[in-house]
Structure 1
Amino acid sequence: MALLAVDIGGTSVKHGIWNDEKLGNKGSFRTPATWDEMKTEFMVLKNSLGEGTKISGVAISSPGAVNQNKGVVEGSSAVPYLHHFPIFAELTELFQCPVSIENDANCAALAEIWKGEAKGLKNVLFVVVGTGIGGAVIIDGKVWHGKHLFGGEFGYMLLKDNAIFSELGTAVNMAKRVAKRKNISENELSGEEVFEMAKNGDLIAEEEVETFYHYLAQGIYNLQYSFDPEKIIIGGGISSKEDLIPELNKRLDRIIKQVEIAPFIPEIAICKYKNDANLIGAVYNWYQNWCQAPIKDK
């Protein structure tokens, strides 16, 4: 069974063919400006597969709050024309085969429990640390969307007075705080540069790096003792930092010593899949929606 996997992003649309338990024929095109242009690109993609590749379904990763029951992408995103119309029905008619759509962060999480760092686990949290903080909640091997489709929107969590997790627990905002304290433009500093500055003894950078690690660890601690997952997987740009897990474990250990009633440190890990995570997770979501038999991993 061959599936066309598609990952819609704000600047590009990635795609590939899932066949024989692997992702191949990968490519991408620039995200079109309108929905009509997107559908044209989809037809070009479909026709380019040729007669030798017959697809049984289309698995899509999309931004926004995907309402599976209504067949609509709700909320808002960097691709505004995807929202608030019967997109499932239009794509099913366009491709003439079963279509599934899931939120991109949820897809990344599904990739991890299917074939990645959380393989074999049932209850997992996926925390995406980028410009802000988002993620996914996996319960019993499936995405838990929540009443308002806000399951996994961890960035809204209040951690200090009126400051939310997204403000305190990302390297992007850490760099902005350093820039503000040094009276320079926010665009002049990156998170990587701040980490390097701290390593070289810059006191302001050291303070803000400590703030970043402390609040990221605190957010993870809160999530662990709210959901009690088997594992918390970290994705996003920060996941490429080699010493991230040891640094977080160091802060988590401090928190556990302060909260004496808490009996264990959360188990955290870096995601296995990077660029292909959304495509692989979209495939797994398609299987969950369209296959009656249990999904087996070879």
Structure 2
Amino acid sequence: MVKQKRLIGIDLGGTTTKFAFIDKDGNILTKWHIKTDISDHGSHIVPNMIKSISDQMRKEDYNSQDFYGIGMGTPGAVDRDKGTVIGAFNLGWDTLQPVGATLSENLNLPTMIDNDANCAAMGEYWKGAGDKADDVVFVTLGTGVGGGVVTNGHLVHGINGGAGEIGHITVHRNGFLCTCGKRGCLEQYASATGVVKVAKEIAKKFTGKSRIKELIAGDEELTSKMVFFLADNGDILANQIVDRVCSYLGLALSHVGNTLNPENIIIGGGVSNAGNTLLQPTTRYFQENAFPSVRDSTRLKLAQLGNDAGVIGAASLALQFRNNQPLNVK
């Protein structure tokens, strides 16, 4: 029996590197992961990826002829044409890394690389909450806030790769200082760390009884997950924090909606695990701030693929490269 050709998806993270063999319809056939070894300035990362893929190919009796190519999502600044990455400091990559060429030479397959948030956006567009829409925006609320814009099946990159930086939309003039050097960026309010910042700020003026107030006063750990859990369980301060976070997120997404009017804006990342506790108030604030025709046509949705979005979206890059055309999801 003739084997159907497959795609290889890689989702590189600072702690874990995820891999998948995926069919041309976007279905995961095999997935696995390895620890990301960031020692020695990240010099072991690419060799470890090559070894892991080679071992898995041998295990399943595949060779390079059984695949169309490799797609990879990575942190850092990506030159898609050259297949290089720089500035992925959480990986130890502070100098230019010829990732694409090294993977291609060792695995004998074409390799396409893009930003990790863009790959997650493509994954949700193709097989997740994109729901066969032509135009989709993805925002991921994790340690930071990232985003990706898909128009007619193509990722929008901008002139210098800066498109989709939703986390750096200003939502509070002269607000919290961001790692980018600006103040008041969405990332400082709606990321996992941002939620905690908002909690500590509001708690200063809160005079009632609250478990959050007790945790802060006792210098105990407070997480965004705790904030949403306590909000679900009637903690008044927690609900005030969630309302503030969602007001900033809804405002930022209304700017995205007013600019692009996508069919779906998809919210993913760890903070999105709060579900409707996050989605409902965010949608309310989005609708308050969106232009009427945008409010009536752009939907806010929760992501569906979880940790698989990155590898699926990365694999789609290889398929688009092979076909030289955008994904057809209809």
Fold shared per TM-score above 0.5: yes
Aligned to 2:193: 172
Residue 234 of structure 1, aligned match among 250, 267, 276 = 267
Counting only pairs closer than 5 Å after superposition, residues 184-203 of structure 1 correspond to structure 2 as 184=217, 188-203=221-236
Residue 121 of structure 1, aligned match among 133, 136, 156 = 133
Counting only pairs closer than 5 Å after superposition, residues 238-253 of structure 1 correspond to structure 2 as 238-243=271-276, 244-253=278-287
Does 49-58 or 267-276 show the bigger shift?
Answer: 49-58
- How many residue pairs get matched? 294
CA–CA distance in structure 1, aligned partners of residues 326 and 243 of structure 2: 45
Aligned to 1:85: 97
**1:208-230 superposed Cα distances (whole Å, 9 cap, x missing partner):** 22111111111111110122222
**1:17-64 superposed Cα distances (whole Å, 9 cap, x missing partner):** 123642233211111224542343234224322172123222212112
Counting only pairs closer than 5 Å after superposition, residues 65-76 of structure 1 correspond to structure 2 as 65-76=77-88
1:119 deviation in Å? 3.7
1:7 aligns with 2:37: no
* TM-score for the superposition, normalised by structure 1: 0.87
1:296 deviation in Å? 5.5
8 Å Cα contact 1:231/1:269 also seen in 2:
yes
1:196 deviation in Å? 3.6
1:146 aligns with 2:158: yes
Residue 74 of structure 2, aligned match among 62, 69, 81 = 62
Aligned to 2:245: 212
Residue 292 of structure 2, aligned match among 255, 262, 268 = 262
Change beyond 3 A, Cα 1:291–1:218: same
Does 81-90 or 231-240 show the bigger shift?
Answer: 81-90
* SS of equivalent to 2:44: helix
Change beyond 3 A, Cα 1:263–1:43: closer
Counting only pairs closer than 5 Å after superposition, residues 252-291 of structure 1 correspond to structure 2 as 252-255=286-289, 262-265=292-295, 266-291=298-323
Could you tell me which amino acid in structure 2 is paired with residue 236 of structure 1? G
Change beyond 3 A, Cα 1:168–1:114: same
Could you tell me which amino acid in structure 2 is paired with residue 277 of structure 1? A
CA–CA distance in structure 1, aligned partners of residues 319 and 46 of structure 2: 23
Aligned to 1:52: 61
1:199 deviation in Å? 4.5
1:130 aligns with 2:160: no
Aligned to 2:44: 37
1:293 deviation in Å? 6.8
CA–CA distance in structure 2, aligned partners of residues 185 and 67 of structure 1: 47
CA–CA distance in structure 2, aligned partners of residues 64 and 187 of structure 1: 33
CA–CA distance in structure 1, aligned partners of residues 220 and 153 of structure 2: 40
CA–CA distance in structure 1, aligned partners of residues 93 and 224 of structure 2: 32
* SS of equivalent to 2:17: strand
Does 211-220 or 234-243 show the bigger shift?
Answer: 234-243
Q: Which runs of 5+ in 1 are unaligned?
A: none
8 Å Cα contact 2:257/2:294 also seen in 1:
no
CA–CA distance in structure 1, aligned partners of residues 228 and 47 of structure 2: 44
1:269 deviation in Å? 0.8
CA–CA distance in structure 2, aligned partners of residues 90 and 153 of structure 1: 28
RMSD: 2.6
Aligned to 1:111: 123
Q: Which runs of 5+ in 2 are unaligned?
A: 175-183, 205-212
1:200 deviation in Å? 4.8
1:97 aligns with 2:127: no
1:285 deviation in Å? 0.9
CA–CA distance in structure 2, aligned partners of residues 264 and 20 of structure 1: 34
What is the identity percentage for the equivalent residue pairs of Structure 1 and Structure 2? 29
Change beyond 3 A, Cα 1:253–1:47: closer
CA–CA distance in structure 1, aligned partners of residues 219 and 19 of structure 2: 34
* SS of equivalent to 2:247: helix
Change beyond 3 A, Cα 1:77–1:135: farther
* SS of equivalent to 2:265: strand
Could you tell me which amino acid in structure 1 is paired with residue 228 of structure 2? F
8 Å Cα contact 1:213/1:248 also seen in 2:
yes
